[in-house]
Amino acid sequence: MSGDEQVVTNDAGGRWVCDMVVILNNAEDIKLARALIMHTDGGAVPLLVPFYNDAEAPWPEGYAPSTVPHSDGTPFSDDSEYLSGVASVTVDGAVALRAGQITLNPSVMAALMGGEVFSVEYPTKSHHIHAITRVYADNLVAVRPPWREATDDAIEVNFDRPLCLMRLDNPDEALAAVIPPYRSVLTLRFVEIPAP
Amino acid sequence: MSSISDLVAAKLEKPMRKRALFFYIPAATPIRFWTGFGDYETAATDDLDPEEIYDGAGLLVSAPEISQLRNGTAERLDIVLSGTKSATREYVNNPALSLYGEKIHMGVVYFNDDWTPVDDIAWLWTGTIGPVSSRWSNNTAQVTLSCVTSRARRKAGGARYWTNANHRSRNPTDGLCKRVTLYSIGTQTKWPD
């Protein structure tokens, strides 16, 4: 025995898993949860699960995008307002399948420090989430997991609301937790799927 | 079949290893999968299967013992995987198709720190597929491929002890092995007693 342990990984980057604990307080919550779980048809329906990174994303102003009305305080006719402070970033150049490093081309973005989470909408594989693990010079960053599909130049990077294509992994247990009285704790478990 | 190159050998010395296993079944509809997630394209210089897309096996539920892949020993491996593509499920569901007796190749790739493969796939092991089965577990279909090394035969091994019953089955009237059951290891029975 040399005492030198070997650590081996076989999964080549792995996949994302999302565990979500939701407290159901009232009848509306129960009905919403039941509708969501039943609509996934036992995990057979792909879902886009968002990653809420409100405090961490590289927004230029340091906080989440805000909406701004007209100068007299009125919104547009459909009640929407101007959106300001979103990050606008693309990938510089084409990226090969399973690349571990990409170069960003930021037009509006705060400085990166590593740990930021973003998603990319791939041509055929839908949205997948990546995390920035190292930041090198000239906007070169290391990302995990490796790139899911080869992409062309200037594909958009979504820092504002990263999305990941997933399926529900525990439909039976989740549905069993949705019961009256209306103070249930629902645990949802999502796992990433490669393509819709 | 390639052997391990110097690049891979250098990686094997490292305490931290990042690797993936590759499986290739050259059937009528070839089946290609690997232990990672998503797609993997093999290099143009690959010895066995260049420039093909390998599908992520989703969750590799059970992988064989890698340490026993050396040549010479015949052994049975059960590869259990979920998240297989429709081609694999078709072989399981359609009785007209069969994977029985098909070759299965298994290779390994080592990665450097940025998940770039240090070399092409080193195809290390070739087996023959036996029974294929599938089952449902937690809403996912799991497929089990039962394989043996190509050199192994499936017949039963020879008997190690030749008993009276064995002998009588061939020579019903001969009493040669009649007293064999009186023997035990480490003692010598006096004969005739």
Give the strand pairing for A117-122 and A184-192: unpaired
For chain B, 193 residues long, give each residue's pLDDT as a single digit of tens: 445 677 777 766 666 678 888 888 888 878 888 888 888 888 888 888 888 888 876 656 666 655 444 444 556 777 776 655 665 666 667 767 777 888 888 888 888 877 888 888 888 878 888 877 777 766 666 777 777 776 655 555 555 667 788 888 888 888 888 877 777 666 666 666 5
Distance CA B129, CA B127 (A): 7
From the list B38, B41, B115, which residue is nearest A100 (CB)?
A: B115
Does the beta-carbon distance from B16 to A6 stay under 8 Å? yes
ipTM: 0.71
Query: Which residue from A minimizes the CA distance to B56?
Result: A194
Partner A contacted by B13 (CB < 8 A) = no
Residues 34..93 of B with a Cβ closer than 8 Å to A: which? 34-41, 55-56, 58, 60, 63, 83
Size of interface A-B (CB pairs under 8 A): 78
For chain A, counts of helices (H) and of strands (E):
2, 13
Does the beta-carbon distance from B111 to A148 stay under 8 Å? no
Does the beta-carbon distance from B139 to A145 stay under 8 Å? no
Distance CA B17, CA A9 (A): 7
* Residues of A with Cβ-Cβ distance to B41 under 8 angstroms: 97-98
Does the beta-carbon distance from A97 to B40 stay under 8 Å? yes
Residues 92..151 of B with a Cβ closer than 8 Å to A: which? 111, 113-116, 138-139
Does the beta-carbon distance from B115 to A146 stay under 8 Å? yes
Nearest one of B45, B69, B67, B41 to B55, comparing CA atoms: B41
Distance CA B122, CA B110 (A): 9
Q: How far is CA B139 from CA A2, B2, B193, in A?
A: 44, 39, 68
* Residues of B with Cβ-Cβ distance to A98 under 8 angstroms: 38-41, 115
Q: For an interface test with B, which of A4, A16, A98 has the most B Cβ atoms less than 10 Å from its Cβ?
A: A98
Does the beta-carbon distance from A13 to B138 stay under 8 Å? no
Tens digits of residue pLDDT in A121-160: 999 999 999 999 999 989 999 998 889 899 998 899 999 8
Nearest one of B24, B60, B107, B32 to A15, comparing CA atoms: B60
For chain A, 196 residues long, give each residue's pLDDT as a single digit of tens: 445 666 666 677 778 888 888 888 888 888 888 888 888 887 788 889 988 887 788 888 777 777 778 888 788 888 877 776 688 899 999 999 888 899 999 988 888 888 999 999 999 999 999 999 999 989 999 998 889 899 998 899 999 888 999 988 888 888 887 777 667 788 888 888 888 8
pTM for the model stands at 0.72
* Residues of B with Cβ-Cβ distance to A149 under 8 angstroms: 38-39
* Residues of B with Cβ-Cβ distance to A97 under 8 angstroms: 39-41
pLDDT at B16: 64
* Residues of B with Cβ-Cβ distance to A142 under 8 angstroms: 114
Q: For an interface test with A, which of B39, B111, B113 has the most A Cβ atoms less than 10 Å from its Cβ?
A: B39
Report the gap between the CA of B7 and the closest CA in chain A (Å).
Answer: 17
Does the beta-carbon distance from A10 to B21 stay under 8 Å? yes
Cis status of the peptide bond prior to A145, with omega within 30 of 0: yes
Does the beta-carbon distance from B35 to A9 stay under 8 Å? no
Instruction: Yes or no: say if B70 and B149 are a contact pair by the CB < 8 Å rule.
Output: no
Distance CA B129, CA B114 (A): 34
Q: For an interface test with B, which of A4, A11, A167 has the most B Cβ atoms less than 10 Å from its Cβ?
A: A11
Q: Which residues pair with A134 in a beta bridge?
A: A142
